[in-house]
Amino acid sequence: MVRIKMPRGAAYKPLSRRHNRILVYALLGGITIGFLYYCSGPIDALAVPFSAHEAYMNDRANVDGFISRGSYDWRKAPFHNKIESYTPLPAGKPRTLPPIQFDFPPETSSQKARRESRRVAVRNEFERSWGSYKKYAWTRDELMPLTGKGDDTFGAWGATLVDSLDTLWMMGFKDDFYDAVEAVAHIDFGKSSMNTISVFETTIRYLGGLLSAYDLSNEKVLLDKAIQLGEMLYRAFDTTNNMPLDRLPIETAKRAEAPGFSADNQICFAAIGSLTMEFTRLAQITQQPKFYDAVARVTALLDRAQNTTRIPGLFPTWINAQHEDLAHDRSFTLGAMADSSYEYFPKMYALLGGLEPVYEKLYKDSAPLIDKHMLFRPMIPDTQVGQDLLYCGNVDAYDDVEIKVDPRMQHLTCFIGGFFALAGRIFENTHDVDLGAKLTEGCIFAYKSMPTGVMPEIFHTAVCESRLSCPWNQTFYEEEVLKHSYKNKGDFEATVQEKRLPKGFTNLDDKRYLLRPEAIESVFIMYRITGYEEYLDHAWDMFVSVQKGSTTKYGNGQMLDVTANPPGVPEDKMESFWLAETLKYFYLIFSPPDMIDLDDWVFNTEAHPFRRPKLTKMEAGG
């Protein structure tokens, strides 16, 4: 790859510290600026266009000549189950897809002042956790936010380090970004202190993180690391039918005399179906078709099998990858174990520049069935509010029994608002955008309903018979609450009290909040699509509540009970997605809308944006 040197920008320092601010202030001087400064908050002069931010961040790229280290060259590792010919990346010039983002008008100075002060608050929150990570858990997978220690959970290669790279870049932490790049260059993907690694988690967090940071910065060592890691993960496809393993045994994968692997006879849909974006981006950048071929084979299986499942069109939670059987499992969900594979259908379509119709087909044959069988309107006392809400539950498909939704809503499933809205824009389907808005509204409502202002990990509500009309029915509500009552069997009031159930909620199956991003992710996407200002206020409320409930001495920890107000002491756990996803989406919604424009970038499921292919100006006839 020829690296295109980014232009050296003016000496712009984004959101810089106090002394820089004073310097800028003094330089520019004058009452005008002083007045702007006064009414727009401290960083007004620094909210520059994306291209200037890019030039500022990247004028250092490659100057330090970071060298990628590694104790083993995965390119030389065996691959027993040879592939005769590779499926090539789709040929042709990328199509111009319908616009995703709202055409934002210039903001007023008061809008700007509010947005910027919120943006700084998010950035400060990131800086606090990142500072502790640097000091107490550097190069470990996670910071323990209560005790200030390090922990290893995902291969022990520094999950938080790699996962945070692009957030550092976006937030303008230039020195920290290049310090992190240097540490990443030293990661040894040649071995792991763990026997097996999760192929899915390693792909979305590490490979996605490296590729995204490379796409943003053009820093070559990041691509070198992505190739090292990609070569290792590619060994997960060394199975008799080339379907990827759930977990890769690292040392076995190196052994020439070992026979390769057999694919899993039970792997969840998310683990097999959501490697596509990362491997495709790696293939696009390296022009090595084998990386695309690997995931294209999985997609071909999903395409073949889509109408063979218990609910033709939908994909079950569990798949027999060894026998390529999707007809067995009866459980269907858009939550844990399935979510991101659906998410990747429209995103893959965008990443491939609209040149691969299979992803449109996979989406269009599944989305109406999700709508029909899994989406439901919750019964809540305020029918005015209720008519704008949707949730997504699970279904089990038993023979000869009507398919009925289990109204079990997970925080993980909150990605679905952004998912439907994004796909609705890409495929020009306003019904789906509308579903996305209501699903997002559902998650916002769940946040607002809890005493801490934070949605729990899993809850149940009562299901409306009709989405159009749904009067409150106390008898029905009490029946539904008692279905989940074990301790106070038969006593409605006692059950409500014991579980601290907000009205409308029939059970809080898991009261924790694990610092997850999916709700703010959807709010962010809805905002970028519609430009509606109320999303900014919802996002801010969510941020303030999460901050209040999760702040610890060293960072932020998982909340144990979102109904306990004041909130209790958080758990000593901060997964890498807090810095990689949650705070990134909070930051982006309060950034100018050209900061990671959805018409130029597409996010993987770990909030790592990949560059979308575009016609050059000349090709587009411009």
Q: Is 109 in the site for ligand NAG (CB under 6 A)?
A: no
Interface positions, 534-573, toward ligand NAG (CB under 6 A): none
Q: Is 466 in the site for ligand NAG (CB under 6 A)?
A: no
Closest to 200 (Cα-Cα) out of 247, 155, 133, 251: 247
Q: Is 312 in the site for ligand NAG (CB under 6 A)?
A: yes
Using DSSP's 3-state secondary structure scheme, residue 363 falls into helix
- Between residues 245 and 464, which has the closer beta carbon with respect to ligand NAG? 464
Size of the site for ligand NAG (CB under 6 A): 8
Cα separation of 232 and 253, whole Å? 8
Cα separation of 605 and 607, whole Å? 5
In angstroms, the Cα distances linking 486 to 409, 481, 505, 508 are 20, 10, 16, 13
| DSSP codes joined into one string, 114-166 | HHHHHHHHHHHHHHHHHHHHHHHSTTSSEEETTTTEEE--STTS-HHHHHTHH
Q: How many residues does the chain have?
A: 622
**Cβ neighbours for 115, distance < 8 A, ≥ 6 positions apart:** 107, 536, 590
The minimum distance between CB 497 and ligand NAG, in angstroms, equals 22
Direct distance between the N- and C-terminal alpha carbons of the chain, in angstroms, rounded to an integer: 25
Q: Is 383 in the site for ligand NAG (CB under 6 A)?
A: no
Using DSSP's 3-state secondary structure scheme, residue 552 falls into coil
The minimum distance between CB 545 and ligand NAG, in angstroms, equals 33
- Between residues 303 and 541, which has the closer beta carbon with respect to ligand NAG? 303
Q: Is 381 in the site for ligand NAG (CB under 6 A)?
A: no
Catalytic residues: 201, 339, 457, 518
Identified binder of ligand NAG from the candidate list 475, 486, 487, 618, rule CB under 6 A: 475
Cα separation of 480 and 477, whole Å? 5
In angstroms, the Cα distances linking 529 to 51, 433, 436, 584 are 21, 9, 11, 18
- Between residues 8 and 372, which has the closer beta carbon with respect to ligand NAG? 372
Q: Is 473 in the site for ligand NAG (CB under 6 A)?
A: yes
189 in Cβ contact with 198 (< 8 Å): no
Q: Please indicate if the annotation marks 430 as binding a ligand.
A: no
- Between residues 428 and 465, which has the closer beta carbon with respect to ligand NAG? 465
Identified binder of ligand NAG from the candidate list 12, 50, 476, 492, rule CB under 6 A: 476
**Cβ neighbours for 259, distance < 8 A, ≥ 6 positions apart:** 80
**Of all residues in this chain, which one has the CB nearest to ligand NAG in the complex?**
476
Strands (E), 316-382: 318-319, 331-332, 375-376
Quick note: the x/- pattern for ligand NAG over 336-375, rule CB under 6 A, is: -----------------------------x----------
- Between residues 152 and 365, which has the closer beta carbon with respect to ligand NAG? 365
What's the CA angle centered on 294, arms 164 and 304, to 5 degrees?
115
Q: Is 430 in the site for ligand NAG (CB under 6 A)?
A: no
- Measured on CA atoms in the order 289, 292, 294, 298, is the torsion positive or negative? negative
Q: Is 37 in the site for ligand NAG (CB under 6 A)?
A: no
Q: Is 469 in the site for ligand NAG (CB under 6 A)?
A: no
Identified binder of ligand NAG from the candidate list 111, 124, 287, 307, rule CB under 6 A: 307
Cα separation of 556 and 554, whole Å? 7
Quick note: the x/- pattern for ligand NAG over 89-108, rule CB under 6 A, is: --------------------
Quick note: the x/- pattern for ligand NAG over 478-517, rule CB under 6 A, is: -x--------------------------------------
- Between residues 84 and 399, which has the closer beta carbon with respect to ligand NAG? 399
Q: Is 287 in the site for ligand NAG (CB under 6 A)?
A: no
- Between residues 34 and 312, which has the closer beta carbon with respect to ligand NAG? 312
378 in Cβ contact with 476 (< 8 Å): no
The minimum distance between CB 365 and ligand NAG, in angstroms, equals 6
Binding site for ligand NAG (CB under 6 A): 307, 312-313, 365, 473, 475-476, 479
Binding residue numbers for Ca(2+): 605
